[in-house]
Amino acid sequence: MSLIDLTLAQARAGLRAKTFSARDLTAAHLEAITALNPTLNAFITVTPEIALAEAEAADRALAAGTAGPLAGIPLAIKDLFCTEGVRTTAASLMLETFVPPYESTVTAKLRDAGAVFVGKTNLDEFAMGSSNLTSAYGAVTNPWRRAGDDTPLVPGGSSGGSAAAVAARLALGATGTDTGGSIRQPASFCGIVGMKPSYGRCSRYGIIAFASSLDQAGPMARTVEDCAILLGAMAGFDPKDSTSADIPVPDFQAACTRGVKGLRIGVPREYAAPGMPDEIAALWHLGRDILRAAGAEIIDISLPHTEYALPTYYIVAPAEASSNLARYDGVRFGRREDGADLIEMYERTRAKGFGDEVKRRILIGTYVLSAGYYDAYYLRAQKVRSLILGDFTTAFARCDAILTPTAPSAAFAQGEKMDDPIKMYLNDIYTVPASLAGLPAMSVPVGQSQEGLPLGLQMIGRPFDEETVFAVAAEIERAAGFSARPAIRAGVSA
Ligand code: GLN
């Protein structure tokens, strides 16, 4: 088996058994990046020298018996995490030359665990989007293709570069961030696993902010167990993030083997909205059958405010974004365009630095926060957000986890939904409610569309009960046995 086809857990075992070195493992992934990144555009920045130096340090630690839990594991980092000394762009021209003088807590933890960073992955600008088409550094191409059709497809977004890199075997795992679905939807589109932990589980310190009350970092990998291993290293209390939860980090990997016997799995009737494509409905049924056969009880639940989740999100998220993005003023960070006076300098900097989608969100956000509209939109949205959380609290009195589709479709073609922002926003219909409620949620590849593209199911858990989510996800993964490979890797033997 080629080194790039190993799971993270297998690679870790191989490194410990000295079957291969961290240097070999990293070199194999760097070679894959050189071969495929020109086609995929999954990375904005590749850092081969840093990666090889880190791999050699991992080899020394492995030899000395002082290796951390991720020693020598090549990872891709979403270019929204500040990395000390390595350019961090948020896929925006605004931060084209920004080299952070500090490291995000999540990446610092991964480094401390011994991980090797191969580069910074592409995303939608400032993580706003579902397709990676809004990146100022060009679109990411999904490594999958429709059967018999070479049309380039989107990898989903906003963590589309991370998802494409993991699916194409350019890294064993990656970090993503998820504000309304940005880990789960690209995981589904690229046939990999992705988890958005509970809000507060991973520190937001050093992650470029989009919507602070929703943003969460999380792992993306090719198996549920690999995600569990990664989250174990990423999570934990951080005094530098006031919303970080001061609670212990459980053994997520152990949770993957718990099974689902006796668990009650809720199926929300409101998610079965008219218009759900047959293949998505069939996939959802398959998930229920798998869990029932494994000893879980499937129960019908109601989340009555589901239909308001998307409009609520598209008020709250832009409101917070407009406030967070006010810091890009041409003075403190990144880009600066000169002007005759201060106001003109601000205007020119922001006009040049931000792309259309980011400007759209700033306009919407500023509008809903403005005097006169604040009560009608923002305050109302906050109230509805509480109702949505209340729906989940009521449901979790009767069930232990919730099963839904991850996205309403398989990956779509580049440009297919760009004409209409609302169509693009509809992608988030199943992912946004768990974000508004701060709940852990995960996508696992379960089947393929008629066109041969991967489709994922989503599991949602109680606050800080990632363990049950991992248990359910691992059961579905085992039974579904998803083993299809993306077109770009189809010819490579496993
Ligand atoms: N697609 C959603 C949006 O555009 C979610 C993005 C995200 O989770 N970062 O806002």
Count Cβ atoms below 10 Å from residue 359 Cβ, excluding itself.
15
According to the model, what pLDDT value does residue 422 have?
77
Q: Which of 78, 128, 162 to mutate to test the pocket of ligand 1 (most atoms within 8 A of CB)?
A: 128
- The span from the CA of 316 to the CA of 180, in Å, is 11
Q: Is residue 13 part of a domain?
A: yes
Give the pLDDT confidence of 57-67 residue by residue, as tens digits.
Answer: 999 999 999 99
Count Cβ atoms below 10 Å from residue 325 Cβ, excluding itself.
26
Question: Any idea of the CA torsion for 417, 420, 421, 423, to the nearest 10 degrees?
Answer: -60
- The span from the CA of 77 to the CA of 92, in Å, is 16
According to the model, what pLDDT value does residue 275 have?
81
Q: Which of 92, 123, 158 to mutate to test the pocket of ligand 1 (most atoms within 8 A of CB)?
A: 158
For residue 185, give the ligand 1 atom closest to its CA.
1
Residue 489 has pLDDT above 90, yes or no: no
Which DSSP symbol is given to 376? I
Residue 494 has pLDDT above 50, yes or no: no
According to DSSP, the β-strands at 264-268 and 297-301 are: parallel
pLDDT interval class at 149 (50, 70, 90): very high
Please answer whether residues 434 and 196 qualify as being in contact, where contact means their C-beta atoms are separated by less than 8 angstroms. Answer: yes
Domain count, the chain: 1
Segment 431-445 mean pLDDT: 98
Q: Is residue 19 part of a domain?
A: yes
HSE, side-chain direction, 13 A CA sphere, residue 109: 23
Residue 490 has pLDDT above 80, yes or no: no
Active-site residue, selected from the candidate residues 21, 131, 162, 182: 182
Give the pLDDT confidence of 370-422 residue by residue, as tens digits.
Answer: 999 999 999 999 999 999 999 999 999 999 999 999 999 999 999 777 677 77
Find out whether the beta carbon of 225 lies less than 6 Å from any atom of ligand 1: no
Please answer whether residues 255 and 468 qualify as being in contact, where contact means their C-beta atoms are separated by less than 8 angstroms. Answer: yes
- The span from the CA of 28 to the CA of 22, in Å, is 10
Give the pLDDT confidence of 292-349 residue by residue, as tens digits.
Answer: 999 999 999 999 999 999 999 999 999 999 999 999 999 988 899 999 999 999 999 9
Distance from the alpha carbon of residue 189 to the mean position of ligand 1, in angstroms = 14
CA 359 to chain centre: 23
Give the pLDDT confidence of 4-63 residue by residue, as tens digits.
Answer: 999 999 999 999 999 999 999 999 999 999 999 999 999 999 999 999 999 999 999 999
Greatest distance between any 2 Cα atoms in the chain: 70
Q: Is residue 45 part of a domain?
A: yes
Please answer whether residues 210 and 126 qualify as being in contact, where contact means their C-beta atoms are separated by less than 8 angstroms. Answer: yes
19 lies in which domain range?
3-257+441-480
Contacts of 227 (CB under 8 A, 6+ apart): 173, 193, 194, 195, 218, 219, 220, 221, 442, 470
According to the model, what pLDDT value does residue 394 have?
98
List C-alpha distances in Å: 436 to 138, 223, 432: 30, 26, 6
According to the model, what pLDDT value does residue 493 have?
39
Distance from the alpha carbon of residue 57 to the mean position of ligand 1, in angstroms = 36
- Average pLDDT along the chain: 96
- Please confirm, yes or no, whether 78 is among the known catalytic residues: yes
Segment 96-118 mean pLDDT: 98
Residue 427 has pLDDT above 90, yes or no: no
According to the model, what pLDDT value does residue 418 have?
67
Q: Is residue 21 part of a domain?
A: yes
- The span from the CA of 189 to the CA of 124, in Å, is 15
- The span from the CA of 140 to the CA of 130, in Å, is 11
Segment 93-110 mean pLDDT: 97
- Please confirm, yes or no, whether 352 is among the known catalytic residues: no
Segment 265-274 mean pLDDT: 92
Q: Is residue 50 part of a domain?
A: yes
For residue 427, give the ligand 1 atom closest to its CA.
1
- Please confirm, yes or no, whether 158 is among the known catalytic residues: yes
Q: Is residue 474 part of a domain?
A: yes
Find out whether the beta carbon of 158 lies less than 6 Å from any atom of ligand 1: yes
Distance from the alpha carbon of residue 215 to the mean position of ligand 1, in angstroms = 9
List C-alpha distances in Å: 164 to 172, 226, 229, 357: 12, 16, 20, 22
According to the model, what pLDDT value does residue 299 have?
98
Active-site residue, selected from the candidate residues 78, 109, 120, 417: 78
Residue 359 has pLDDT above 80, yes or no: yes
Find out whether the beta carbon of 181 lies less than 6 Å from any atom of ligand 1: yes
List C-alpha distances in Å: 487 to 11, 121, 150, 164: 23, 20, 10, 12
- The span from the CA of 491 to the CA of 191, in Å, is 17
Segment 201-225 mean pLDDT: 98
Please tell me whether the peptide bond between 158 and the residue prior to it is cis, using omega within 30 degrees of 0.
Answer: yes
Strand partners, 456: 445
Find out whether the beta carbon of 265 lies less than 6 Å from any atom of ligand 1: no
According to the model, what pLDDT value does residue 274 have?
76
Active-site residue, selected from the candidate residues 135, 158, 409, 435: 158
According to the model, what pLDDT value does residue 387 have?
98
pLDDT interval class at 106 (50, 70, 90): very high
Burial class (CB in 10 A: 0-12, 13-18, 19+), 246: exposed
Q: Is residue 106 part of a domain?
A: yes
Find out whether the beta carbon of 317 lies less than 6 Å from any atom of ligand 1: yes
Distance from the alpha carbon of residue 158 to the mean position of ligand 1, in angstroms = 6
Q: Is residue 420 part of a domain?
A: no
Q: Catalogue the E-assigned strands of 236-294.
A: 264-268
Alpha helices in 191-263 (DSSP H): 224-234, 252-255
Find out whether the beta carbon of 175 lies less than 6 Å from any atom of ligand 1: no
According to the model, what pLDDT value does residue 491 have?
57
Distance from the alpha carbon of residue 174 to the mean position of ligand 1, in angstroms = 18
Segment 173-186 mean pLDDT: 98
Run of H or E residues at 308: none
- The span from the CA of 347 to the CA of 354, in Å, is 11
Question: Any idea of the CA torsion for 146, 152, 158, 161, to the nearest 10 degrees?
Answer: 100
For residue 314, give the ligand 1 atom closest to its CA.
10
For residue 128, give the ligand 1 atom closest to its CA.
4
Find out whether the beta carbon of 130 lies less than 6 Å from any atom of ligand 1: yes
Please state the φ and ψ torsions of residue 327, each to the nearest 5 degrees.
-70, -15
Please state the φ and ψ torsions of residue 446, each to the nearest 5 degrees.
-125, -35
Distance from the alpha carbon of residue 416 to the mean position of ligand 1, in angstroms = 17
CA 247 to chain centre: 23
For residue 211, give the ligand 1 atom closest to its CA.
9
Indicate which CATH number applies to the domain containing 217: 3.90.1300.10
- Given the structure tokens 């509209």, which residue do they identify? 373
